[in-house]
Every structure is written in structure tokens, then in C-alpha cells.
Amino acid sequence: MTSPGADPVRLAVAVEAPLHSGLHGPLDYLSERPLSPGALVRVPLGRRDVPGVVWTTAPGDDEGHALKAVTEVVDALPPLSARWCDLVKFTSTYYQRGLGEVAMAVLPPELRKLDNAGLASRIAKLRKAYDKPVPAAPAPVRPELTSDQADALAKLAEVNLPGAAPVVLLHGLTGSGKTEVYLRAAEAALAAGRQVLVLVPEINLTPQLEARFAERFGGGDTPRRIVSLHSGLTPAQRLKNWLAAHLGLADLVLGTRLAVFAPLPRLGLIVVDEEHDPSFKQQEGARYSARDLAVYRGKLEGSCVLLGSATPSLESWQRAEQGRYLRLTLANRVGGGVLPKVRLADMNLLPKVRGATTALAPALVAALAKRLERGEQSLVFLNRRGYAPVLHCTDCGWKSGCPHCSAWRVFHKGDRTLRCHHCGFTQPVPRACPDCGNLDIAPLGQGTEKLEEQLAAALPGARVARIDADTTKHKGALEASLSAVHAGEVDILVGTQMVTKGHDFRRITLVAAVNPDSALFSSDFRAPERLFSLLMQAAGRAGRDAAQADRSEMWVQTWHPTHPVYTALRQHDFKAFAASQLKEREIAGLPPYVHLALMRAEARTPEAARDFLQAAADLAAELPGANELLLYPPVPTTIARVAGVERMQMLVEASSRPQLQRVLSPWMAALPSLRATHKGVLRWALDVDPLAI
């Protein structure tokens, strides 16, 4: 496309190169005119035309290589900012993925498809829509701040000086008024003409929070524009909202982890709500932590970052303890509501019926009955869907294993199927034991379906409803169930942890965890932290209405009532819990005291996966800086086989991030060379700062 006489410009363009191709950096192209870094272009790659982002430009092309020319310049789109490019670059380097891969993965899919003319017309339409005045809504009524909130905001204002970009950890129980603090901090940023980014862990929580932000900022004299960004949007909506952010039309962007990459030319504040939540970590492709990237982005943009949680991650907590983050505490619930009383039902003390302990402690059943009498609601949760996690034969010991995975298939009573929750393999329940023909095959353990049945049997007349991934598969089902709960049509709500997050149930005065112990002895070192957080969050569901708070209870059925997790829960004492966990982590040499990366490999046989990881370890050992690392032997993952594929992993440990990073990049670059000698390996992937090991 270079016309004779014009001075061609050499460009490095970030494009999505095939995985394991070894092409990790930007590729060189020619353009007949100068382009800014951050400009969107289409370039030839192989036999295709692919979208790319101009990364750097250099004058001329003296060497006269046979560089290919840019096919199209999508200049309807203003270039992405240098700060945005820095964020993408950091993500690519830190999480060890291709630059173009990251850049393309975080742009809306629709943007990659449109040509310049198509995009220009979308943008014109969008600008026109934003030109229309908002229908006037009344100015919002702001509540008077509690003294906790006022203190927190005053301290925030002290540190949030221009250029300071502080990271603030807002620690406050559910219902302590954190959201109000976000709203006020956002108000200040908006008043200063800045944009605000709010990250939430779950799509389901966005409408609720969006409504609260819209109520506060959508009306009055200077109504603000709010958009959301998450994977639940249609491609067209996602592009529209992304453009509104990038063009500076939207003032507030609310979204899930991918929104951390929203281009925001006037960004002034980043809020990460429920900052401890595991869903901020992307689990495929570039396995980034949106929480960590938010902190990095705050530094890049000179913006304040506000991390909020009732149970902060131990990483953030430690940084606050070290004074690297400013900790602000909201110690009380708004309106003086007290936290529910925590009652532990000691399962060891229960009588056995036919050799088995009853599933529901009589004291819990009595407490539920009391709620029924008073017309109050209860929430009972169990983190396992289906009827029973496994079927077994009492004669020969057969169990309902999955033929494709190293996991049991779950018994679903509703449709009488055995279903593997890992690969989806589903079959009707056999009439008799497939091994010995015995007709007496029985469910072992308890899932939400069974719990629903047990509650209905123990409390005749109670209106029991269940919310889990099975009952909410269809669009609208979750909303319908939730509104039934809000309308008071449900006495007892049964569910997985799905029901414990965020929902503001007003009439619930009892929350019960019927079988949370398994997390105490999990091989996952973060399991106790998660359990504590889950139980605290669940407890927060009860007694949100101050009038009922004094008779609110959180029940925990446990075989280990003296476990420190439960002791801390009884006191609602996160500080004590965090201190004991951090001590344990320090002694055991676990994060945040060490830094980890996990290399996973998948193959048809465990040997092939292991051999590959062993060879990878040998490669790593040759690299400069390898002596600072600890490479553990390859081991099978927790569920070693899924859908017929064997999975092994190898842990890499270092005492500092730079030590780890120094080796990871050359290591990742060297790995494709193993393909020729390790044909059995299907895939490998590196997870930097893995959540579970």
C-alpha cells in the first residue's frame, strides 16, 4: 500500500500471535504515514488480516526489508493512551503472555471485527446519544455520614493528594457502610472532572450496585453517565459501553475483572469491592489478578485505589500492616445493628441413628422452627449442589466414579442422573450396582437437593426454595427466585455459596452453614481464609434490618468446634484470624511471604505430563538466577484427570517477585523447544501468583 514518493514509517504492532509460536513481542510493519502509538490498525499476518495496536514507531526503513504494509488504519478510534499500553505491557510481562494476545483479549471482541467506516458510524451514533440531555431526575438524598464514615473519608482526603495515588484498604463488616464511602469518594472524583472505575467480583452484583450509583449520581444538576462492563453483555453493548469509557463520555464504569482494562482518559479513582474475592483472578489465558492490576494501574494513572472488604485478602492485609496501604476501618454496622450471634452445633454430641449422625442438629431445627413461628426467614447453605456427591454399593463398595475423570459423579435426584461436575458426563442412575448387581445402591453425603428435602421433612409446612447452579440455569430464574424471597414467599432459602454474596435480604434472621468443615483440612492453603470470609459474609446476610438484629443468629454445624477459624468467627474477629493465618503462612513459607508460580501441563498420560515438566525444570535450572528459585517436583493436580486428560503441575518458589520474574521470561521463551521431544504434551500454562496450589 506504500505509494511511491511517500516516506514510509516503520511500526511495531501488537497482534495476536498463535500460542506457543514464540512470537511474544510486537511485529514490524510499514505505514505510508505516521501513526500514534495506541492506534488501532489491521495488518496482514500469515494469510489473514488481523487487528493490532500500534506499539512503537520508528522513522523510515533504511534496511528496506520486505516488511508488509498496514492494511487499514482504524482512525475513527482515538489512540489508546500510553498508560493503557503500559498496563497491557505490564500484564503481558508479569503474567508471561504475549503482548498482542493480552492487548487483543482485553479489547471488546466487536472492536476487532469492525472496519474504520463501521466504527466511525457507531461512534457518531454514540456521541449523538450522549449529546441528548438526560431526563431530569430529582437530586439524590444523601444520608448523613456515620462518625466512622466521616472519619474514614477525612483520612482518605488527607492522603488522596494530587499525584499521591494512595492505596487504601477499607475494612468494614457487611452493612458497615462501605458502599457509602465508595459513593462519597466517587462524588469527589467526579466533582473534580475525573472518571471512576468500580470493580465487583460477580456479574450478578453489578445491577444492584449500578442501581445504587445511578440513584446517587444519575439525577440532580449534573447527572453522571454510568456504564457497566462484564461478560454478560451482548457484544454490541460491550462495545458501546467500552467506547463510552474510552471517549470519556461515561463518568462511571462498573464492571467485573475485565473492566480493569477499560480505557479511561480521565481516570481519578479505582474502587475494588470485595477485594479478597477469588473471581478477580482470571483462570485462563493471561491469568491476571484484576485486584493486583488495579493497584498497579492506580500508580500508573496517579489515581487513588480503594480496596474494600469485610475479610481482606491476607496479601492486602499484610501490606496494610506494613504501612504500604492505608487502612481505614468501619467498626460498626450502620444504624447500630449488631452482628448475629454465632452458634456452633457440635456434631460430635448428636445421637446416631442407624450408625449415622442426623444431617440437621435438633437445636438448629428448633431455631429454624422459631423463625417460622415468627414469620421470619432463614438461609441455609451447603457448598455442594446435587442430591449426594456419590452413590455407592453397600455390598461390594462400588462408587459412582466418572470414567473420564478422577472424580465422583454426583447423584441428581430430580432427573435421576449421575453427573460429572468436571467434564459433564451424564447417565441415568443404574437400577442396580454395575459391578455386583446389588439393588441396594445408596447416596453418600449431602448436596443441596437433599438438604432441601431434609428441611422440608423436618419442618412440615415451611416454604423451602433452593438457589444453586441447577435451579438458575435458565435466564431470569435467579431473579425470579430472589424476588420471591424478597416478597416473603419463602421461609427457608437453601443454596450454595451463590446465595451468600451481596444480596440484601431484609427479613433473614438466621443463617446456617450445615457442612463447612471440609475446607478446614483442604490441601489448598487458602481454604481457611476462604471459609472464614464465606462465613463472615453469610453472617452478614442476617440481621441487616436493625430491628431484627438482636435476634439474629449464624449457625455452624461442625465436628471441630474448637478450630481457630470458628473461634475467630464467634468473636467476628478478622484481625485475630488474619494474625494467626499470617503467622502460619510465615512458618510454612507460603504467600505472602514467598512468591509462587505454577506450571501446569496436560497430556494423555501422566508420564508424558511429568516428563515434560521434568524437562522444563532442567531447562529452568540452566538459566541465570535459577539458583535463587526453588523448583518442586511435578505432582498430579487435585483432580488429576478431567475428560480423559491427565494434569500435572510443578511449583516454582522465590523469596521475591524480581527473583521469580527474572527466570520466568527466558524460561517461557525456551519451552517451545521441548515440543519436538515431548510430543505427548498437549498444553502447558504458567500461573503467576496462583490462588490454589
- Binding site membership: which residues? 393, 396, 402, 405, 420, 423, 433, 436
Secondary structure class of 531 (helix, strand, coil): helix
Q: Give min distance, CB of 273 to ligand ADP, in A.
A: 8
- Name, in order, each residue with C-beta under 8 angstroms of 133's C-beta and a sequence gap of 6 or more: none
One symbol per residue from 315 to 354: x for binding ligand ADP (CB under 6 A), - otherwise; what is it?
Answer: -------------------x--------------------
- Name, in order, each residue with C-beta under 8 angstroms of 554's C-beta and a sequence gap of 6 or more: 340, 341, 342, 343, 510, 511, 512, 513, 535, 538, 539, 542, 569
Query: Of the candidates 247, 239, 229, which has an alpha carbon nearest to the alpha carbon of residue 110?
Result: 239
User: Rounded distance, CA 319 to CA 326, Å?
Assistant: 9
Give residue 226's identity as a one-letter amino acid code: I
What are the φ and ψ backbone dihedral angles of 362, each rounded to 5 degrees? -55, -35
- Tell me the Cα Rg of the chain: 27
Q: Decide: 563 and 520 in contact? Cβ < 8 Å.
A: yes
Q: Binding partner of residue 177 among Zn ion, ligand ADP, none, CB under 5 to 8 Å per kind? A: ligand ADP
Q: Binding partner of residue 175 among ligand ADP, Zn ion, none, CB under 5 to 8 Å per kind? A: ligand ADP
The stretch near ligand ADP (CB under 6 A) out of 6-14, 31-39, 176-184, 276-284 is 176-184
Residues annotated as binding site for Zn(2+)? 393, 396, 402, 405, 420, 423, 433, 436
Q: Give min distance, CB of 328 to ligand ADP, in A.
A: 12
Kindly state the DSSP code that residue 323 receives in the 8-state scheme: T
The stretch near ligand ADP (CB under 6 A) out of 144-152, 340-348, 363-371, 549-557 is 144-152
**268 or 389: whose CB is closer to Zn ion?**
389
- Name, in order, each residue with C-beta under 8 angstroms of 620's C-beta and a sequence gap of 6 or more: 626, 629, 631, 652, 663, 667
Cα atoms in the Cβ-side hemisphere of radius 13 Å centred on 661: 10
Kindly state the DSSP code that residue 367 receives in the 8-state scheme: H
The stretch near Zn ion (CB under 5 A) out of 101-109, 110-118, 294-302, 394-402 is 394-402
Q: Decide: 286 and 211 in contact? Cβ < 8 Å.
A: no
Select the residue interacting with ligand ADP from 8, 38, 51, 177 (CB under 6 A). Answer: 177
Q: Binding partner of residue 77 among Zn ion, ligand ADP, none, CB under 5 to 8 Å per kind? A: none
Give how many residues touch Zn ion by CB under 5 A. 15
Select the residue interacting with ligand ADP from 96, 160, 176, 383 (CB under 6 A). Answer: 176
Q: Does 423 bind Zn ion (CB under 5 A)?
A: yes
Q: Give min distance, CB of 356 to Zn ion, in A.
A: 20
Q: In 331-385, at which residue ranges do the beta strands (DSSP E only) sit?
A: 341-346, 352-353, 356-357, 377-381
Q: Does 172 bind ligand ADP (CB under 6 A)?
A: yes
Q: Does 433 bind Zn ion (CB under 5 A)?
A: yes
Q: Binding partner of residue 405 among ligand ADP, Zn ion, none, CB under 5 to 8 Å per kind? A: Zn ion
Q: Does 541 bind ligand ADP (CB under 6 A)?
A: no
* Residue 646 CA from chain centroid, whole number: 26
Q: Does 174 bind ligand ADP (CB under 6 A)?
A: yes
Q: Give min distance, CB of 495 to ligand ADP, in A.
A: 20
Residues in contact with Zn ion by the rule CB under 5 A: 393, 395-396, 398, 402, 404-405, 420, 422-423, 425, 433, 435-436, 438
Q: Which residues bind ligand ADP (CB under 6 A)?
A: 143-146, 149, 172, 174-180, 334
